Structure formats: C-alpha cells, structure tokens
Amino acid sequence: MKIRFLGTGTSQGVPVIACNCHVCRSADKHDKRLRTSILIELGAYNLVIDTGPDFRYQMLRENIDHLNAVLMTHAHKDHIAGLDDVRAFNYAQQTSIPIFGNEFTLDSLRREFYYAFATEKYPGIPQLDLIEIHSGVDFTLFEQPIMPVEVMHYKMPVLGFRLGRFAYITDAKTVSDASRALLQGVEVLVVNALQQEPHISHFTLDEALDFIADINPKVAYLTHISHRFGTHNDIQALLPENVFVAHDQLAIDVDF
C-alpha cells in the first residue's frame, strides 16, 4: 500500500492569501501546503481521502488517470469543495464513483451538490454513489478491510480511517476511548497538528504528541499544518525521533 500526501495544509492552505509572515514567504517547497488530502494506492486501485478545493490540481500534479473511490472525513468545505471534479473520472472510466461517509456528511453532499442528485439530471454532472458508513463497523473495499474511526472536531463527528497497520486521522480535537481502542496496533499514524497555541477544534502539537504516545505507532506524521505553526524545519526540530512533519507530495509505503 502506497500513501501519497496530496495536501497537508489547513482550510486556508499555506501560504495564506495576503499574509507576509515568514512561513508564507518561505522559499522552501515543504512550506507550500495545499488543503489536506491523501491518495492511497491499493494495487491497481486509487482511493482518495477527501476532495478539497485543490482536488483538481492535486490530481493533475500527481498524474492520476483513474479513481476508484473517495472516503470523506467530514463536510467542511476544505474537505469536500472539489468533489465536482470527479466527473472527469466518470467520463474517462464510464462509471460512477462510490463516495463513503457518515450520515451527516452524505446529507451535506446532497445539499452542496444538489444538481448531482436531481430527478432530472443535467448532462455532464458528477455521478456519485453515496454509501453510508459507521464508526467501529468495518467494510471491505477492493478486498481490503477499512475501519472508520470517529473523532470529534469540536462538536462535529469526523471519520478517520484505519487500513491494516495504517491510520489517518484529521481535524481531531478529542478522541474517545472506544475510538482509541480501534487504533491499537497501528504502526503508521497520520494525525492533525494545527499549531502550538490552543485551538477550539484541532489538536495542538502537544495534544497530537500525547495522542501519538497513547496509540504508540512505530512512526507518525503530522498534517493539517497552519502557517502559525512555523516552517517545516522549525516544526521538525520540535519532534521526537519517530514523528515527522508531512509535506505535500511525500510518499510512503506501508505493509498492509
């Protein structure tokens, strides 16, 4: 299984429009962060977690010529706004794309992309098969079990996903004991870490590191990084030896 980080930034991305801070002015390519998403390659199958506003560019940049499914973490615009662009894959593959999410997220997609679900469909609209999933109830996709894991984004339930030894958690602020139990034995963990200062709906660095220590993976990667956090090198200098700052286009191999 290969993981490609399509984006590792917050809802604003990095650099932020009209910001002149040292992070936004950095010339280091590691400090150029699109909205958070990953691509999972399961053999011949491509699976994306979240389709944010940068989805089209991310697919072009990575030269992705087919897409087999989308997992949605939640319905905030920085995670769903690019969903319309799956229609290019609909056309190329002559098939609809299955979209997996919890009830709240799927209801939001029906509202946001209402034209895709109209009784009389306009030609060329995205073809989306919405499939409801639930935390703690695994499902099989491309012959691989996937476990949804609920975390709380302030008061909003968000789904993380576990695939074998790999788990992806974003936009978490609190994680229940039941959800933590679903993550035991994970060896590669990706988790959000917005900044060092307290935030109402995201892990801070200290909270993310405490969570990583509790799950105890062999290696962890931080994502959903704010320009307030610092440069890539600034952040990496603060981390334990088995924790790394993810960056756009980082690719890692994980044994399922």
Quick: pLDDT tens for 178-202.
999 999 999 999 999 999 999 999 9
Per-residue pLDDT at 122: 86
Residues in Cβ contact with 118 at an 8 Å cutoff, skipping those fewer than 6 apart: none
pLDDT reading at 146 higher than 90: yes
**Integer Cα distance of 16 and 178 in angstroms:** 36
Domain 2-253 CATH (choose: 3.30.70.920, 3.40.50.11540, 2.160.20.60, 3.60.15.10): 3.60.15.10
pLDDT digits (tens, 9 = 90+) for 27-49: 999 999 999 999 999 999 999 99
- pLDDT for residue 123 is more than 90: no
What is the reported pTM? 0.97
The gap from C-alpha 93 to its chain's centroid, in whole angstroms, comes to 24
- Residue 53 CB neighbours (<10 A): 18
pLDDT value of residue 121: 83
Check pLDDT > 90 for residue 88: yes
d(CA 92, CA 249) in angstroms, rounded, equals 24
Mean pLDDT of 250-254: 97
